[in-house]
A and B are shown apart, each in its own frame.
Chain A
């Protein structure tokens, strides 16, 4: 292993483990010593309604009501489009939409006052049907080859529908933002967030100040997983408007139930797949993909793009036709969550390939293997896999870990008795970095290094440490290139007043893209280094020359410069009396290129792997006929504990990417994507296979196992 892989003590280890790190809820006073007002939001109780009137009770001195009439600038939050309001317009579009905020010194008083606000609604019929919803925010289509001809000439055509549910990010620290008016007239907004410059743009627009009128700091952030990509822009605008009106610092920290119920989650999906098979090979795929976007478009465009690009999986299928729709429903807007649209479509294609193999009477591992893409093959968008595809070797390594191939055949045979076993297998890619040419055309990342007279070097970038370790790995890269001790290089939480825009903390891009800018900046600094002098260097993103330009209107070209790869196998044992599924072992093999700090990367893989298993099994969340999410507490929305998957193994396979620092590729999202299909295939196998129990929906819980088993009795 390379020197850079060697694990170091994380730079934020001591303050975090000693309980000294200051998360947004931990400030006693504002930066200038003022008391902080507590802001709490009034949420809509209907999924769709006209707001006819809002009557606010008389407020004690020092308490403020804030709504859209107080927004000095634009009441539209700048995300991808600008359809999300800061505070609701004439209608509310989902249960939980913010109507207004009360801010004041005492939280209990604020809560009491909120209960006294009278809202007169005219209830309207909500749209809550993903399958039949007509209103779409985005409607994409792409393909290549001659799909019709392939279906006409097929030996057999397979059709199946796949359903995936919500998944909540469930970062341990709930959403929280704080705004402080500063003496120079600027608004200082900080909190738990992933993308300081997203919040910057949104708050400047809502306040109507222009970019120089605000600055945004990322506080220590207790987890994100995508959930703090867009929502902090909304909450940041709301507290900023309240701070503007009151002239005082205002903080709003969500309660867990508000967070689970009202903030963005993974898009539920309905994927209809049709595959043509001729002479034992898949010759065409036609995929019709619907994502439940919720009430506003927020990040659905980009989530859907990543999802549909992955629709054919990692298989070389010559004829491809894909449509994707982000359907509007009157529910909380869905947003970013680790995997970003790809877990839904990979689940569908992986299950589909497995079911076709079962129908053909061949082992699905062999069947999938016959279709794996190779270096040089065309991608779904007519780009190229420019670099080696290590999946066959990774599959063999997983086989060594858990005897996959033998068990896969053995458990497929008829089983009897109370306990029955299954083993599932899934392999996926994750496109590294932004989809398409977003990095070149939209983000245009800039990163800087500032060397001080005493020889210490500060990293200036806008990527937040949300637990993934960039406060350690960024300095590691710089220290390595400058050949100075790691203690001499530091990276503080970014404040847009002092750091350039190196882009958001999303898309598994920070280490690969910004890390590479920092590596190059460090080489520049090394070349001009003068002892005792303050020096600064800057580096800007350049798109790699080898990339085939991507055209979003046609979905053509290289959607990603390279890919991270993963193979997962999950072995289960089902108790047919109780329906309980025990995971005997979960084995993952991950290629994220060079791990720039082995422990940190393995920690990412293990954490994401377990989230993927939760998504497949116990993490159930849904809305009722009124559009209300009922699973809004940890009692009703279960996430895995330390007891659930004791035997979880993450192995690293290294296929270096020359465009990333020391060969590193995108890492964070990869491990979540493969486990769901591996899990469900294992459960289906234990239940006797597709012909007895055809499974095509996640999450698949103990209750679902019981329901399936009951079918045998009836």
Chain B
């Protein structure tokens, strides 16, 4: 029973590999969580962000040893929720998804914000998304989509 035990998208999981392995690589290669994207592998772009116990963290900067007994959520798990539906609809209404590469990280950044602050101001949304680089949109559509999701999805968060 030497493995690293954690919950991944609600399922008890035991990782038998090295504690020094990178969470990003393990999620993609071992558990096929391909929504988790690699944009820089040095904690700067947010494309690989996941939620660990509800906190937004770049998975490229996390060693597997650090996730022991924690709860990890990726878009593979989150996409089954009503909150995701509300965000997805809001993003669709504003065509806020262009190339799509930053989007799973953006969605989780939005969840991290809304779960703590269900009615954020625009400034709070911009702050919450500031660790996630999007090169396509100029951010307006994404920020407005998160604001709209908060409004339309009232009660979900």
* B-binding residues in A (CB < 8 A): 7, 9-10, 12-14, 16-23, 25-26, 28, 169-174, 220-225, 255-256, 466-469, 597, 599-600, 602-603, 606-611, 633-635, 639, 641-643, 645-646, 648, 650
Q: In this assembly, does B119 line the interface, its C-beta being within 8 Å of a C-beta of chain A?
A: no
Residues of the A chain whose Cβ atoms lie less than 8 Å from the Cβ of B147: none
Instruction: Kindly state the separation between the CA atoms of A26 and B34 in the bound complex, as whole angstroms.
Output: 6
With both chains docked as a complex, state the minimum distance between the C-beta of B60 and any C-beta of chain A, in angstroms.
Answer: 10
Instruction: Kindly state the separation between the CA atoms of A255 and B25 in the bound complex, as whole angstroms.
Output: 14
Residues of the A chain whose Cβ atoms lie less than 8 Å from the Cβ of B102: 172
Which residue, of B122, B138, B143, has the highest number of chain A Cβ atoms within 10 A? Answer: B138
Assess A256 versus B32: contact at CB under 8 Å? Given A170-B135, A223-B136, A610-B138. Answer: no
Contact with A along B17-38 (1 / 0, CB 8 A): 0000000000000001111111
By Cβ-Cβ distance, the 6 closest A-B pairs, closest first, are A19-B35, A16-B100, A222-B101, A467-B99, A606-B138, A634-B44
Asked whether A603 lies within 8 Å of B139 as measured between CB atoms, the reply is no
Residues of the B chain whose Cβ atoms lie less than 8 Å from the Cβ of A608: 138
Contact with A along B92-103 (1 / 0, CB 8 A): 111111111111
Interface residues of chain A: helix, strand, loop or mixed (majority): loop
Cβ 8 A contact of A603, one of B47, B75, B137: B137
Residues of the B chain whose Cβ atoms lie less than 8 Å from the Cβ of A467: 98-100, 136
Cβ 8 A contact of A646, one of B36, B122, B131: B122
Given contacts A467-B99, A608-B138, A643-B127, 12 further A-B contacts (CB under 8 A): A10-B97, A12-B100, A13-B88, A17-B100, A17-B107, A172-B102, A256-B39, A603-B138, A610-B139, A634-B44, A634-B45, A642-B127
Asked whether A603 lies within 8 Å of B96 as measured between CB atoms, the reply is yes
Assess A633 versus B42: contact at CB under 8 Å? Given A19-B75, A19-B104. Answer: yes
Cβ 8 A contact of B88, one of A17, A600, A609, A635: A17
Residues of the A chain whose Cβ atoms lie less than 8 Å from the Cβ of B42: 256, 633-635
B contact residues, total (Cβ < 8 Å): 55
Asked whether A18 lies within 8 Å of B44 as measured between CB atoms, the reply is no
Residues of the B chain whose Cβ atoms lie less than 8 Å from the Cβ of A255: 41
Find residues 35-71 in chain B having any chain A CB closer than 8 Å to their own CB. 35-42, 44-45, 47
Find residues 125-143 in chain B having any chain A CB closer than 8 Å to their own CB. 125-127, 129-143
Asked whether A19 lies within 8 Å of B101 as measured between CB atoms, the reply is no
With both chains docked as a complex, state the minimum distance between the C-beta of A394 and any C-beta of chain B, in angstroms.
Answer: 19
Asked whether B97 lies within 8 Å of A7 as measured between CB atoms, the reply is no
With both chains docked as a complex, state the minimum distance between the C-beta of A259 and any C-beta of chain B, in angstroms.
Answer: 9
Asked whether B99 lies within 8 Å of A223 as measured between CB atoms, the reply is yes
Instruction: Kindly state the separation between the CA atoms of A599 and B136 in the bound complex, as whole angstroms.
Output: 13
With both chains docked as a complex, state the minimum distance between the C-beta of A21 and any C-beta of chain B, in angstroms.
Answer: 6
Instruction: Kindly state the separation between the CA atoms of A513 and B99 in the bound complex, as whole angstroms.
Output: 22
Residues of the A chain whose Cβ atoms lie less than 8 Å from the Cβ of B99: 171-173, 221-224, 466-467
Residues of the A chain whose Cβ atoms lie less than 8 Å from the Cβ of B136: 172, 223, 467, 603, 607
Asked whether B135 lies within 8 Å of A172 as measured between CB atoms, the reply is yes
Q: In this assembly, does B116 line the interface, its C-beta being within 8 Å of a C-beta of chain A?
A: no
Instruction: Kindly state the separation between the CA atoms of A600 and B37 in the bound complex, as whole angstroms.
Output: 24
Q: In this assembly, does B76 line the interface, its C-beta being within 8 Å of a C-beta of chain A?
A: yes
Asked whether B138 lies within 8 Å of A609 as measured between CB atoms, the reply is yes
Residues of the A chain whose Cβ atoms lie less than 8 Å from the Cβ of B143: 642
Q: In this assembly, does B6 line the interface, its C-beta being within 8 Å of a C-beta of chain A?
A: no
Instruction: Kindly state the separation between the CA atoms of A646 and B42 in the bound complex, as whole angstroms.
Output: 26
With both chains docked as a complex, state the minimum distance between the C-beta of A537 and any C-beta of chain B, in angstroms.
Answer: 29
Asked whether B44 lies within 8 Å of A633 as measured between CB atoms, the reply is yes
Q: In this assembly, does B2 line the interface, its C-beta being within 8 Å of a C-beta of chain A?
A: no
Asked whether A599 lies within 8 Å of B94 as measured between CB atoms, the reply is yes
Residues of the B chain whose Cβ atoms lie less than 8 Å from the Cβ of A21: 100
Instruction: Kindly state the separation between the CA atoms of A17 and B108 in the bound complex, as whole angstroms.
Output: 11
